[in-house]
Structure 1
Amino acid sequence: MRAVGDAFAAKVVGQLNLRESLLIGLLTGGHVLIESVPGLAKTTAARVIAAAIDGEFQRIQCTPDLLPSDIIGTQIYESATNRFVTQLGPVHANIVLLDEINRSSAKTQSAMLEAMEERQTTIAGQVYPLPEPFLVIATQNPVDQEGTYPLSEAQTDRFMIKDLLEYPSVDEEVEVMARIDAGIYDADHHSAPVVGLADVRRAQQVVRHVHLDRVLVQYASRLVEVTRRPDKFLPQQIARFVSYGASPRATIALCQAARARAVLAGRGHVLPEDVAAVTHRVLRHRLILGFEAASADVTADRVVDAVLQAVRVP
């Protein structure tokens, strides 16, 4: 998958954490939730990944009036043949970008999340499997909350990873301008695929067979256990802000993401630092903090820092 990472770097300046998160999602079949202000190349990143693997890309702009049928598809009456014809929705693609997912209604969000979980859609009683590989990249804008429908904690748990994007540095912005002047982002500038869909599917099989020692599985499980019993493991000044910890999906996600990270590093085995490196991305959206956390300026990342310090590294 190094070639896909190189294709990403050729179009997207910086955002190394995002590149790793998207590749981990692609290798594991997990979905990625991205939170950032507008203009930080989220759409560009999704398009680049799709082009690099020769996959189909669809972008869905979420709005309050978006219906589930706009996503999964519907049946349309065809007068010429006097019958109903199934029209598949944009979710039937390899890479799907859900832009500002929190602007769609809860009903539409549920339809999309069901498709993500089941990897199929049902239209008029007929089941239509989604293509493989299948990766959903959903974005949220943390600044403008007017007219939004925030994802519930149970829904965000369906995402394997949540990434937070930061503003680029001055040097990175200068490089962006240089690439714009060079025509890298012009509509007629197309990048050739570097791998095929079959290659991605083979890489996913490789990830499943990466050696993960039982000790590291216990390490991941202990990290999640700390979030469930903060009073027992965390300092009181941090533990009091945690209302609910992470579900078993978090332990599964930690192990899968660590395996994918090992493959990206060219290793056939997982190291403790692989688990630690993905812990923030796997846990930050699974922790439910009390209302006092916001007033005390305590973020989920700060709690995860304490979690990592509370568990001995094997």
Structure 2
Amino acid sequence: MDTKLAFQQLKQGLSQQIIGQEHLVDRLLIALLADGHLLVEGAPGLAKTRAIKCLSEGIEADFHRIQFTPDLLPSDITGTEIFRPEDGSFNFQQGPIFHNLVLADEINRAPAKVQSALLEAMAERQVSVGRVTYPLPELFMVMATQNPIEQEGTYPLPEAQLDRFLMHV
């Protein structure tokens, strides 16, 4: 099957599963093709989670949703070193950022340290834990959702992070 036909079938399949959100489907596919990240702002119920889940199924990629909260830690995203008492060593346990498609849900509810961990992953396509840097998968895309800034309990995204998004929908 040629690439154009496969892409058309993917778009058609997404449009059938995400009804009434053609703009979101188009932007999601543009971000995928351009190897970029997408920031989506909107009310609950607009099929944002469903859209990226359907995309991951359509391209047979790993998907993970991270719910951003005020008590989230950077290691909750990146992973952490786990001590193995049997041999006295540390083994790295990958966090959810190591999936192909990541939904960063309500990204502006997390504190700046957590947003910084995501920023490195988005900009450098790598994660640093301790003194070691781990590469992310070749196919890596973040679709972040955010609440309007005027809502209580939100942190404004820094300009450096906003620059990492290809589009804001």
Fold agreement, TM-score > 0.5: yes
Specify the alignment match of 2:11 in structure 1. 5
Match for residue 108 of structure 2 among 99, 102, 105 = 102
CA-to-aligned-CA distance 1:51-73 (integer Å, 9 cap, x gap): 11110001000001111111111
The percent identity for this pair of structures is: 52
**Aligned CA distance change for structure 1 residues 144 and 99 (closer, same or farther; 3 Å):** farther
CA-to-aligned-CA distance 1:256-279 (integer Å, 9 cap, x gap): xxxxxxxxxxxxxxxxxxxxxxxx
Whole-angstrom CA distance in 1 between matches of 2:8 and 2:47: 20
Whole-angstrom CA distance in 1 between matches of 2:9 and 2:70: 38
Q: Following TM superposition, by how much is the alpha carbon of 1:81 offset from its aligned partner in structure 2, in angstroms? A: 3.4
Whole-angstrom CA distance in 2 between matches of 1:4 and 1:133: 17
Q: How does 1:78-117 map to 2 (within 5 A)?
A: 78-117=84-123
Residue type of the partner of 2:151? Q
Specify the alignment match of 1:222 in structure 2. none
Specify the alignment match of 1:52 in structure 2. 58
Specify the alignment match of 2:148 in structure 1. 142
Determine whether 1:76 maps to 2:82.
yes
Specify the alignment match of 2:3 in structure 1. none
Q: Following TM superposition, by how much is the alpha carbon of 1:111 offset from its aligned partner in structure 2, in angstroms? A: 1.1
Residue type of the partner of 2:95? G
Specify the alignment match of 2:166 in structure 1. 160
For normalisation by structure 2, the TM-score amounts to 0.92
Q: Following TM superposition, by how much is the alpha carbon of 1:144 offset from its aligned partner in structure 2, in angstroms? A: 6.4
CA-to-aligned-CA distance 1:9-49 (integer Å, 9 cap, x gap): 23111211111101011011110000000111100001000
* Unaligned ranges ≥5, structure 1: 164-314
Relative to its length, the structure with more helix (as a share) is 1
* Unaligned ranges ≥5, structure 2: 1-6
Whole-angstrom CA distance in 1 between matches of 2:66 and 2:10: 23
Whole-angstrom CA distance in 2 between matches of 1:127 and 1:155: 20
Residue type of the partner of 1:67? L
Whole-angstrom CA distance in 2 between matches of 1:20 and 1:156: 20
Whole-angstrom CA distance in 2 between matches of 1:34 and 1:64: 19
For normalisation by structure 1, the TM-score amounts to 0.50
Task: Work out whether residues 37 and 143 of structure 1, in 8 Å CA contact, stay in contact via their aligned partners in 2.
Answer: no
Report the RMSD for the aligned CA atoms in angstroms: 1.3
Specify the alignment match of 2:132 in structure 1. 126
Specify the alignment match of 2:46 in structure 1. 40
Task: Work out whether residues 101 and 142 of structure 2, in 8 Å CA contact, stay in contact via their aligned partners in 1.
Answer: yes
Alignment size in residue pairs: 163
Whole-angstrom CA distance in 2 between matches of 1:122 and 1:142: 30
Residue type of the partner of 1:142? P
